[in-house]
């Protein structure tokens, strides 16, 4: 554990700030998922069926930092964070910095009557969250 703390303090200040912000938003959306209906939460995401456009080379570094911050936060938290919380947290963090990001929601049929859902985020066809297994899902909605 000591090694992890020492290593954490060696990362740049901006990435530490993103880490603490990621912890906050992951926990917030984990709690809100139980308290609010899906239709209330998606109002925060932006325009329905519109992909995020724009972005420059310097923003590419931000998405890498964002991906690492979310990954670190999920390892540090004792709770399991699903793709839904990750996608909402990533969108909120990018929105605070006025960075474009698209959130996708997909479903797949498993068995006779079971549906599985998945959420992921992308910027210019580069994944920020939820890359694993996304191809199995049919996109039902996306937000910019």
Contact indicator for 45, 103 with CB cutoff of 8 Å: yes
pLDDT, position 1 = 47
Highest mean pLDDT among 18-22, 43-47, 128-132, 140-144: 18-22
The residues near 7 (Cβ < 8 Å, ≥ 6 apart) are none
Which residues span the domain enclosing 39?
Answer: 2-143
| Res 47 pLDDT > 60 | yes
Tens digits of residue pLDDT in 25-34 = 999 999 988 8
| Backbone φ, ψ for residue 79 (5° rounding) | -95, 155
pTM here? 0.86
Nearest to 120 by CA among 136, 132, 108, 138: 132
What's the domain count of the chain? 1
Tens digits of residue pLDDT in 50-107 = 777 766 656 778 888 999 999 999 999 999 999 999 999 999 999 998 888 999 999 9
pLDDT, position 55 = 64
CA pair distance 120, 122, nearest whole angstrom: 7
């Amino acid at each position: 554990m000591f090694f992890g703390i020492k290593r954490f303090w060696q990362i740049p200040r901006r990435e530490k700030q993103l880490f603490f912000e990621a912890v906050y938003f992951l926990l917030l959306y984990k709690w809100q998922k139980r308290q609010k209906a899906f239709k209330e939460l998606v109002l925060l995401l932006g325009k329905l069926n519109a992909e995020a456009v724009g972005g420059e080379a310097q923003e590419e570094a931000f998405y890498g930092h964002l991906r690492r911050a979310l990954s670190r936060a999920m390892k540090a938290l004792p709770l399991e964070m699903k793709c839904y919380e990750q996608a909402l947290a990533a969108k909120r963090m990018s929105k605070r910095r006025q960075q474009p990001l698209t959130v996708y929601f997909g479903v797949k049929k498993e068995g006779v009557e079971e549906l599985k859902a998945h959420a992921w985020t992308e910027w210019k066809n580069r994944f920020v969250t939820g890359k694993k297994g996304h191809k199995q899902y049919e996109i039902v909605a996306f937000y910019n």
